[in-house]
A and B are shown apart, each in its own frame.
Chain A
Amino acid sequence: MKKLVFIVVFFVPGFLMADNDKGVLSSFFQKYGDNQEFTYVNLTPKLFEMFATMDSEEDEGMINLIKSFTSVQLLSADSTGKSNAYYKEVQNLIDGNMFDELAVIRDGDENVKILVKEANSKISELLVVVSGSHNFVLVDMVGNIDLKDLKKLSKIKMNGMKYLEKADEKN
């Protein structure tokens, strides 16, 4: 693993929650959360609730964006021979769960899929799945995210997030 993933964290308003706080891939995160092959990050609703009580006058745009999160989970493997298998496993869990493909990107040896559950330009769940020849990344963000804020999300320094800028261009 090259670097520890530095995570950015924030808040959430108590309304317009997603169907559930953990997202449709909670079983996948449970299965691999303790797997040494992965780095695992779990930001719970309790954390976002706590941030919601903090005031800040700075960087209001980003703070407001983060207010729209309920939970964030990330699994990242930098050196794995099972990337395709993980990708298919995620795809099987997603099938039939009302996700729309926002973007499919090929970047070098990485295949990236960005999926959303969206209604009225509001995203209740955002998935970023990255499958490379030796790496795999899964990001699952649950909340009430404005579709027009996708590009802002790409600035968060977390594996896989850079592709949201490309998704925004395609959108």
Chain B
Amino acid sequence: MIKRLIILFIVLAPMGAQSQSQAVRDVFDKMPSGNKYFFYPSTLRALSGDSKQFLEFVKDVENIKLMIANEDEKEAIGLLDVKKIEGALTTEGFTEMMSLREGNARVIVLEHDGTTVALLNAKNTLGIVELEGQINVAAGLKMLQEGELPIDQFKSFWEKEKPKKKSKEDAKQNKNN
């Protein structure tokens, strides 16, 4: 279920972010490099499988930045409470565009002044997404209607690339650096 949320989070949540908010930048700066992913058009093409709709959906996307932290990393870098990030975004003027909660996992997308930020908070995972460029709404709609989401490709990517469990000392060391 969490994987599905993450996939939804990557694919649907950010609608056209232009730049990071300060709160997002702060979180990205704290994260070890192994927890940050950058999806460029070539990466997205590789993840698309044979889905023409997905390719159409992301054709105008310049890049997607994704940060994922597990429970230990969240603790080590002081991100225990995603509400704090949400609060900081709200203080910057962000307001909710959409949210989805299932069990204790929640995705929220906020927007302010042309910047869109998506937060994923699940029991063991915190995720933040920023997208530059535009998604093709009609292609996304068609893809969802036809169930053409390249879920298997994203699952494979996630299994291969998901953050390895690091010790708190490692994470703290990274924070200090």
Binding site for B on A (CB under 8 A): 1, 3-10, 33-34, 36, 39-44, 46-47, 50-51, 54, 56-59, 62-63, 66, 155-157
Contact: B8 with A9, CB < 8 Å?
A: no
Does B144 make an interface contact (CB < 8 A)? Answer: yes
Query: Does B137 belong to the interface (CB within 8 Å)?
Result: yes
Assembled-state Cα–Cα distance A156/B140 (Å): 12
Show the binding face of B for A, using Cβ within 8 Å. 1, 4-5, 8, 12, 15-16, 95-104, 109, 111, 134, 136-139, 141-142, 144-145, 147, 149
A51 to B5, CA, bound (A): 22
By a CB distance below 8 angstroms, the chain B residues around A5 are 100
Contact A4 B145 (CB under 8 A): no
Question: Chain A: interface secondary structure?
Answer: loop
A66-B138 Cα distance, complex, nearest whole Å: 11
Residues from chain B with Cβ under 8 Å of A4 in the complex: 1, 4-5, 8, 100, 102
Task: Tell me the bound Cα distance from A47 to B13 in angstroms.
Answer: 11
Instruction: Say yes or no: A8 contacts B144, CB within 8 Å.
Output: yes
B137 CB contacts on chain A under 8 angstroms: 10, 51, 54, 56, 63
Please tell me if the beta carbons of B101 and A10 are within 8 angstroms of each other in the complex: no
| Inter-chain contacts of A8 with B (CB < 8 A) | 141, 144-145
Q: Please tell me if the beta carbons of A50 and B144 are within 8 angstroms of each other in the complex.
A: no
Residues of A within 8 Å of B98, CB to CB, are 7, 9, 41-44, 47
* Residue with the highest number of chain A CB atoms closer than 10 Å, among B4, B111, B137: B137
Closest A residue, CB atoms, query B136? A56
* Contact partners of A63 in chain B: CB under 8 A: 137-138, 141
Is A46 within 8 A of B1, CB to CB?
no
Chain A, residue nearest B15 (CB): A50
Kindly identify which residue among B97, B101, B138, B139 contacts A47, using a CB–CB cutoff of 8 Å.
Answer: B97
Interface pairs (27), CB distance under 8 Å: A1-B102, A4-B102, A6-B144, A6-B149, A7-B144, A8-B141, A10-B137, A33-B101, A36-B103, A39-B100, A40-B101, A42-B98, A42-B100, A43-B98, A44-B98, A46-B95, A46-B96, A47-B98, A50-B111, A51-B15, A58-B136, A58-B142, A59-B141, A63-B137, A63-B138, A66-B141, A155-B145
